[in-house]
Structure 1
Amino acid sequence: MAPRPPFPPFDAVTAARKVQAAEDAWNTRDPERVALAYTEDSVWRNRDQHIEGRARIVDFLSAKWQRELDYALRKELWAFTDDRIAVRFQYECHDSAGQWWRSYGNELWEFTEDGLMRRREASINDLPIAADERRIHGPRPEADRGTRFPIF
């Protein structure tokens, strides 16, 4: 298992770097790539689902991105301690019927000393939106990195 810098203990710079790396990875919509950031026995709570282990994370993400089409995500550092990071996020996607959604949430992350995430807890709420209400169109442009996004 390859280490995933930056490593704890986090400071403001390394925590922000970790959050941006996660955003970048999730925006690839590549379950195998994303799962490499988690320990083999990583534990997740995602909405009402409980997921344990990297293989199940891959399965979960594969199913997610088959349902959540044209998924695009923004994450923002909320707080951090030595080996934990709190994030707020928004993503937009549409379903197979063409309905667009904006999903708002918060995540709590806990890391091992080699920078892999061993625990992820996500609370998420969904809001139907019209296509012309979208504000997230693909991965974040380089010039927008580190900028805050609106609450709603």
Structure 2
Amino acid sequence: VNPYSVLSPQDITNKWEAVKQLVPLRDQMLQEEVARQQANERLRRSFAAHANIIGPWIQTKMEEIGHVSVDIAGSLEEQMNNLKQYEQNIINYKSNIDKLEGDHQLIQEALIFDNKHTNYTMEHIRVGWEQLLTTIARTINEVENQILTRDAKGISQ
């Protein structure tokens, strides 16, 4: 018996046994956290890979629509056909937006709130997409109105 300590050798042995039992448990918890963090990083990278393509694509299409509506030569009907084809190409791209939405859903479920791999958020993409659809529809509508006005007034191109 040690007069300078309140702990007996048995107390120390018991505490050591408790530590030896807790170490593997703690190890397992750390491994689970590492796996969770790696899964989160894969989700971030997947979202960023798609967003970094879709974001600039939307921006490019917006600029192209601006140029198309100004630079189109030919009859109003030809302009209309070109714009309708353009609109169809944009609509066909929707599956890429849907894939990004799926990635975003997984990110939200994993409670991931930041992504250092991209400056785009799903909200940016959604707003850009809606703006793109609205812009092409408005441009088509303007050409349709020009056709109707021309036909109603009986004027030529």
Give the shorter-chain TM-score range.
under 0.3
TM (norm. structure 1) is 0.22
> TM-score, normalised on structure 2?
0.21
| Higher radius of gyration, 1 or 2 | 2
Higher relative contact order (CA 8 A, sep 6+): 2
